[in-house]
Amino acid sequence: MFGLVRRYLLLGVFTIAPFALTIYIVLLIGGWFDSQFQAFIEMFTERYFGVRRTIPGLGIIIGLSIIFVVGAIAPSFLGKQALAISEAVMRRIPLAKVIYSAARQVLDAISKPGGEKFSRVVMLPFFKDGLYVIGFVTQESKASWVPTQGDHRMAVFVPTTPNPTSGYLVFVDPKDSIPLTLSVEEGLKVVISGALAKPDYLAQAELKTQSEEKPS
C-alpha cells in the first residue's frame, strides 16, 4: 500500500514538475517586466485620478507595446538613423561599449536566418583521462584562438547542469574532441536533465547490449 502511494506521488511530482517550473519562470519574468513600469503607472494614477496605485499586468502591456513600436520603426530610414546614433553613443561610453558589443554579437548570431547559436555537439576530456563533458561548438576558425597553440581552432561552450546559461568557454584542438550524433536540442536536453534524458544512440546501444546478453 505504502509502496503504491510512494510510486504515485513520485510519478505525480515528475509529471507536474516541468509544467510548474515553466509557469514559475514565465511568471517570474513577467512579474519583473511588469514591475519596471509600475512607477510610471503610479505617477499617472496619482496625477489624473488622485490615487497612487499599481495596476498589475498593465506594465507588461506597456512594455510589449513599446517593443512592438520599436520593431515597427527600426526598419525605416529614421529608425536606422536613430539606431546608428544610439550605437555611436554606446560605443563611446567605456563600460557600456563592452557590454553592448558583446550583447550585439550574441543577438546577431542567434538571429541569423537559418543559423544556430551552437553549430554541433561534441565531447571533451574533463580534467583527466577517462572523464568527458558535453560541449557545444560556437566557432571554428582557420587560425588558432591561442597564439602559442597553432591547432586550437575550435571554440566550445561547456554548460553547467541543470542551468545551461552558465558554463565555461574553452579553446581546443578539433582532434581532441569527440563528435556526437546529437542535435543541439538533444544535447541541451541531456545537460538540463542531468543525463536522465538519454540520447538515441545510447538507448540503441543499450538495446543492442541487452539483446546480445539474452541466452539463445
What are 165-182's pLDDT values in tens digits?
778 898 988 888 999 988
Domain boundary among 77, 111, 145: 111
State the average pLDDT over residues 77-85. Answer: 87
CA dihedral 77→79→84→85, nearest 10 degrees, is: 110
Sheet strands side by side (includes 167-172) = 167-172, 154-159, 128-140, 120-126, 178-179
State the average pLDDT over residues 37-58. Answer: 84
pLDDT of residue 153: 86
State the average pLDDT over residues 33-60. Answer: 84
pLDDT of residue 146: 80
Confidence of residue 216 (pLDDT cuts 50, 70, 90): low
Classify residue 210: in a domain, yes or no: no
Q: Tell me, yes or no, whether 38 and 69 share the same domain.
A: yes
Its domain, for residue 168, covers: 120-205
CB 25 within 8 A of CB 17: no
Nearest to 120 by CA among 168, 185, 175: 185
Q: Tell me, yes or no, whether 7 and 104 share the same domain.
A: yes
pTM, two decimals, is 0.50
State the average pLDDT over residues 126-133. Answer: 86
Please name the residues in contact with 61: beta carbons below 8 A apart, sequence gap of 6 or more.
none
pLDDT of residue 110: 55
How big, in percent rounded to 5, are the helix, strand and coil portions of the chain? Answer: 55, 15, 30
Q: For the chain, what is the domain count?
A: 2
Q: Per-residue pLDDT for 115 more than 60?
A: no
